[in-house]
Structure 1
Amino acid sequence: MSPTGWPMTLTAIFLAVAGPVATYLLWNRVRGPRPVRAVSRLAMIGVSQALAILLFGVVVNNYYGLYASWDDLLGDTGSPGVIIHDDKIVAGGVPTPGLDLPSGSRSGGDSRGGRGPVVPVVPRDRPAGPDQRFDRYGDDALVTSFTGPKSGLGGQNDVMVWLPPQYNDPAYADTNFPVVMLFPGYPGTPQTWFGNMAGQKELARLVQAKASTPFVLAAVNISPVKGVNTDCTDIPDGPQVATYIAEDVRSMLERTFRVTTDRSGWGMMGYSEGGLCAGKLLVQYPQDFAAAVQMSGDVRPGGYVNRYGPDFANRNSTLWMLRNHKPHQPVALLAAASAEDASGTVLTDALSLQSAAPDVVDVLKKEHGSHNTEVWKQWLPQAYGWLSEHLDPVKPQP
C-alpha cells in the first residue's frame, strides 16, 4: 500500500478511531496487579495517540506530497536522474573532477553567461552606498536584516550569505566572484538552504573536487510580507517582491561583497516555490541574470497573482514568457523534476518548458522521489556543475 492515496488515508482513519474505542472497551478488562494494569492502560493510551499522529501524518503527506513511496520516506529516492539537453540525454550531468570549469561543451553552455549567441557585455557600475552589516550565523554563514530602498520590503534575517574559502585566499584578492541566489519554498526561510539543504557544504565539497566554480551563495526570503505568497512578483499597488530580490538585494550584495557586476556571473536556484521564482525571474530579468535552476518548480503563478487577471498572470508565467517573449540575451534554465512528484505535472511542465525553448532549457529528469528535501539535495551536485558551465568561472589572478 502506498503512503499516499485514499487506501492509506481510510486505513489511518479506521485505526485512529479503533484505538480509542478499543481503549474504552478494554479499560476495565485489564487483569493483573495494579502496576501491570497501570502500564497496560498507559500503553493503550499511547497506541491511541500514535494512531492519531499517524492519521495526521498521512493527511499532511497527501496534502503536500512529501513522500511518494515507502522507500522515499526512508530516504531512498533512487538515482539523481539524467540531464536532457535538446532531446538528448547528457549522461550523469555532473562534471568530472579535475576539469577546468566551465567548459561549456557538455550541455551547450556558454561561459560568458547563459546559452545562445554571445552578446556584448554592457558594463554595470558597482552601486554606490555603504556596505551592509552582516553577522555570523553558525559556523560558516553570514546573515543580515535588510530593507530594500526601492521595494521597501525586508525583514529580520532575510538574507544569508556563504563565502567560499577562495574568497579570502590571497591568490584571489583581486577576483570578483560569481553569485548564485538561493530561494526556499513557501512557507520557508533562507536558513533552510544552509541548514537542512546544506547547500554550502555540498558546494564546498564540489569545489574541493574541482567539480564546481566557487560561487558566493546568497539565500533570500521570497516572502518578505508574512503570509503573502506573491510568487516573487511585483503586485500592482502591492508588495514589489521581484524588485526586492532582483534589484534591492542584488545591489546590496554588489556593494558589500567582492562579486561580479556582470550578468554573466549571476545565477539563481530554488526548490518548490523558490524554483518557480528562479525560472520566472530569469526570463523577466535577463539583463541581470544568465542562468537558473528550478527544482520541482511550477511554471505558472498561483492564486494570488491570478487575482489580477490572465494577462498579468501570463507575464509572470515562465512557460508563457518563453513561448511569447523569449529573452534576447543568452540565458539558460535547468528544470529539475521527478516523475513521482505529488503534483503530477512537474515533470510534464518541465518538458513543456524545454519544448517551448529547447535552446534555453535543459531538463533534469528523475524517476523516483517526491516533493522533499532529500530529492532536492540529491540534485545539488548536478545543479552546481551545470551552473558552473553557464556562469563565469573563477580563476586566481596571475
Structure 2
Amino acid sequence: MGLTSHKVLALAVLLAVALFVGTVLLWPRLAHRSWRSVTGRVGLLLGTQLAIFAAVGLAVNQAFGFYATWADLFGQEQGQGVVSNQDAAGNRGPVQVVSTQEVGVAGGALPTVGGQIQEVDILGRTTHIATTAYVYLPPEYFQRQYARRTFPASVVLTGYPGTAEALIRGLHYPQTAHELAAAGRMQPMILVMLRPTVAPPRDTECVDVPGGPQTESFFARDLPAELGARYRTAKKWGIVGDSTGGYCALKVAMHHPGVYGAGAGLSPYYKAPHDPTTGDLFHGVVRLERRADLKWYLAHVPPPVTSLLVTSSKVGEHNYKSTLDFIKRVKPPTRVSSIILDSGGHNFNTWRREIPATLEWLSGRL
C-alpha cells in the first residue's frame, strides 16, 4: 500500500485508537513499581504516541502532498529516469499520456463540460530529464467549435519536496481555472502541473547544475517544446509556483522572457539556498550563483520584457520585507504586480486565497 493510500491512513488511525484504549484498560494492571510494570507503562505510552504521530503525519502528508511514495519519504528516490530514443514506428514519444481523470466539477464526466486531467510522462530531448506531470485541458479544448484554436498554457509548480497531485487535490488549480473561465473571469487555459524536483531527492532550485541536472533548461526549453508539440498551446507561456516553485517561476520568466510572458511567485524567495537538500548547486562558478540571485539579476542585467507577480502577507510570511524590496528593484520594460494579504502563513490555505486572482492575472498577461 502506498504512502498516500487511504487504507494506510485508516490502519494508522485504528492502531492509534487501539493502543489508546489498551493503555486505559491495562494501566491499572501495570500500576506497580516492579521493572516489568514500569517497562509496560513506558512501552504503552511510547507506542501510543508513535501511532498518533504516524496517523497525524500521514493525514498531513495527504492534505499537503509533501511526499508521494515511501521511497520519496526516506530519500531513496535517486534515479532521474532514462531517455529511450525510438524511431517513428515506436509507441513511445517525448510525451506519453499515462492516464486520465475527471476534474471534479459538475458534469466533469464529459470532457466537453468539465475538461480533463491527463497524467503524462515527459522526456526532455536536450536535458535528458524524465518526469511526470498532470495536464489540465479546459472543456473548450474538446469542443468542436474550438478544434483549431490554440490555448494559453501555464506551468504550475509545487514547493519542495511537494507532489504534483497536491496541486489538484490540495490547491485545486484545475477546479479554480474551470470556475473562473465559466464565469468569464479568465481565458480557458491549459495547466501543466508538476513539481520542480525533477531529479529527486535533490532540490536543484531550477538551476543548471554544472555536471548535474540541467533543470532550468528543462523548464525553459524542453517542457514547453515537448508539450507544445503535443497540445494546441499558444507561443508564449506563463509559469506559477509556490515557495520553491515560486522562486523557480520568477527566475525562469526573468531569464527566458521569449518563452514565458508571465511568471507568478506565491510566497517566493529570491535567492537559491545552500543546504543539505540542495548540495553545491554552482560548484564555485560565481557567474551562475549571481544569475540565480533575482535581486542581483535585476540590478545588473537589462530588464527582461516579461510580467511578474509576487505575493506575501504582512503577518505570517517571512518574505514580506524582501518582497517589497524586490518590487522596488523592478524596472521597465519588466512589469510587476503583487498580492499582499494582511495575514497568512506559508501554507496551502494562504495560497488557495491567492490562486484565483493569480490565474486571472496570468490570463490577462497571455
Q: Provide the TM-score with structure 1 as the length reference.
A: 0.64
The residue that corresponds to 2:287 in the other structure is 311
Give the unaligned 5+ runs of structure 2.
1-19, 33-39, 65-87, 103-115
1:351 aligned residue: 324
Partner residue in 1 for 2:213? 239
Which residue is equivalent to 1:133?
96
2:118 alignment counterpart: 142
Deviates more, 1:275-284 or 1:193-202: 193-202
Separation of aligned partners in 1, 2:54 and 2:163: 27
- What residue number does 2:247 align with? 276
Which letter maps to 1:272? S
Q: Does 1:299 pair with 2:275?
A: no
Structure 1: any 5+ residue segments left out of the alignment? 1-18, 31-40, 67-128, 392-398
Whole-angstrom distance in 2 between the partners of 1:301 and 1:381: 27
State the Cα RMSD in Å: 3.2
1:336 aligns with 2:311: yes
Residue 27 of structure 1: how far off its partner (Å): 6.2
Calculate percent identity across the aligned residue pairs. 22
Q: CA, structure 1 residues 325+388, in 2 after alignment: closer, same or farther (shift >3 Å)?
A: same
Number of residue pairs matched? 284
Aligned letter for 1:313? E
User: Alignment partner for residue 288 of structure 1, among 237, 259, 265?
Assistant: 259
Q: Could you say if the C-alpha distance between residues 179 and 370 of structure 1 is closer, same or farther in structure 2, counting changes exceeding 3 Å?
A: same
Determine which of 182, 187, 204 is the counterpart of 2:156.
Answer: 182
Q: Is the 8 A contact 2:154 2:191 kept in 1?
A: yes
What per-residue deviation string (whole Å, max 9, x for no partner) do you get for residues 339-379 of structure 1?
A: 3445x2x1112111110015522221112221111111111
Q: Taking structure 1 as reference, are residues 276 and 237 closer, same or farther at Cα in structure 2, changes over 3 Å only?
A: same
Q: Structure 2 vs 1, CA of residues 53 and 332 (structure 1 numbering), >3 Å: closer, same or farther?
A: same
CA shift in 2, pair 1:131/1:57, >3 Å: closer
Corresponding residue for 1:196?
Answer: 170
Would you say the 8 A contact 1:220–1:245 is kept in 2?
A: no
The alpha carbon displacement at 1:309 in A equals 4.6
**In 1, Cα distance between equivalents of 2:54 and 2:138:** 44
What residue identity is the alignment partner of 1:300?
Answer: K
Q: Quick one: distance in 1 between partners of 2:46 and 2:194? A: 42
Quote the offset at 1:210 in angstroms: 0.6
Aligned partner of 2:353 among 361, 375, 378: 378
**8 Å Cα contact 1:353-1:361 kept in structure 2:** no
**Greater RCO structure (CA 8 Å; 6+ sep):** 1
User: How far is 1:184 from its partner?
Assistant: 0.9
Shift of 1:147: 1.7
CA contact (8 A) 1:159 1:218 kept: yes
Q: Is the 8 A contact 1:286 1:327 kept in 2?
A: no
C-alpha distance in 2 between matches for 1:321 and 1:150 = 25
- TM-score where L is the length of structure 2: 0.69
Contact 2:94 2:125 in 1 (8 A): no
* Distance change (3 Å), C-alpha of 1:47 and 1:332: same
For residues 311-333 of structure 1, give each alpha carbon's deviation from its aligned partner in whole angstroms, at most 9, with x where no partner exists: 3211012222122214342x111
